[in-house]
Structure 1
């Protein structure tokens, strides 16, 4: 298994909130699980640390991050600043092909909800924001959006109430309609409103039941990949 595949598996597990906070991801342990050298694992862990999906502690190693609602307020503020600018830019510059692609995407979100397919809706919901960043054509914006969205995905998975699905789908459609209508002010307002509402749906919880071990999760991902099954979906953004 190459480094890109290992990175994909670990990032999906982290973004899906499958691992508790403060868990050490040891190089020896992961090297055995993936059947690769420690050097390859070390490169992947440092990349995940750079992407802010792991905490790299000098002389101690890599640890999973416990999403913090207090930090989340700062991250959502940063997202509103960045993504409201994205919305303004896209309202002025979207091509017809991009409008059609967004139309297909929000329709797919609605169809997944209609079927009761929560996992597919969660993946599509996250992809909506990555798609908007991609459509700006600006690599710096894309990198910043990826980092911020990734950080809030873990918060949403950990803290969002179950009522968020239908609301989020409707909010994405409102953003799309404003963008498709070239309504700059409405697009900015819809984006800011959506991100603020997602933030308000985050609630502290008393405890989280212990889930599968790292070994079990990685083994399941590897087995699914070999069987050609869909990877673990990320949470809604």
Structure 2
């Protein structure tokens, strides 16, 4: 499994206050948990009323959400939950596969006991979220696993590109994977770790490509149209 990760980066480091961060994380969680479907309009006035804050505070959170591709800020319509088209989804996953084909051999080449331990810890965190039935955290941690690989590859440019692609892929997964899909064990991540430990870069590349293709194949892309109560979706009522 992969997700919006990128959204896991501490929001306060990017200039958000505690209230801004609360709004930001509430929206991310609601999108990841399928409570806010694509195309849902997010009115500034609704947030102001829900959190008893100014429009300036709300706009800071919305700008951060737009930066992470969770929402789109559209002229004359305001903020809406992002709605990637099927073509955009395929393009994002194609770019992701191309990037990870370059990242994985670098991780294998640079593997150390400490980097292998970091990978194990990331897999353990995913498993904990799965056993706790926390789908939003599971998607987020799946994305963080791949971001960790990019970091361990030691190429800052690849890492920067991965941050955007993981964010967008995680959003696509959260929006278009069937909510009833069981949270399966991360066998591919475990197997990838074994291949990295064994120094088998070729098989590791084949596995990561298969892993991403399998994720993409599970998606049900299409338009969704239903009314949403923002307070209920954000868990504020």
TM-score calculated relative to the size of structure 1: 0.77
Q: Is the 8 A contact 2:85 2:221 kept in 1?
A: no
Quick one: structure 1 residues 215 and 143, their matched pair in 2 at CA, closer, same or farther if it must change by over 3 Å?
farther
Q: Deviations over 1:168-226 (max 9, x none)?
A: 61111222111222222122111111001111122357967x58621123344xx9xxx
Q: Which of 9, 12, 15 is the equivalent residue of 2:32? A: 15
Q: Is the 8 A contact 1:17 1:154 kept in 2?
A: no
Residue equivalent to 2:195? 178
Number of residue pairs matched by the alignment: 218
Residue equivalent to 1:235? none
RMSD: 2.9
Q: Deviations over 1:141-183 (max 9, x none)?
A: 33322322222223223333556643x6111122211122222
Structure 2 residues not aligned, in runs of 5+? 1-17
* Structure having greater relative contact order (Cα 8 Å, sep ≥ 6): 2
Structure-to-structure mapping, 1:63-142, within 5 angstroms: 63-107=80-124, 109-110=126-127, 115=131, 117=133, 119=135, 121-142=138-159
Structure 1 residues not aligned, in runs of 5+? 224-237
Q: Is the 8 A contact 1:112 1:118 kept in 2?
A: yes
Q: Is the 8 A contact 2:40 2:228 kept in 1?
A: no
Q: Which of 152, 157, 162 is the equivalent residue of 2:174? A: 157
Distance in 2 (CA, whole Å) between partners of 1:143 and 1:11 is 21
| Residue 213 (str. 1) matches residue 200 (str. 2) | no
Quick one: structure 1 residues 7 and 109, their matched pair in 2 at CA, closer, same or farther if it must change by over 3 Å?
closer
Quick one: structure 1 residues 44 and 124, their matched pair in 2 at CA, closer, same or farther if it must change by over 3 Å?
closer
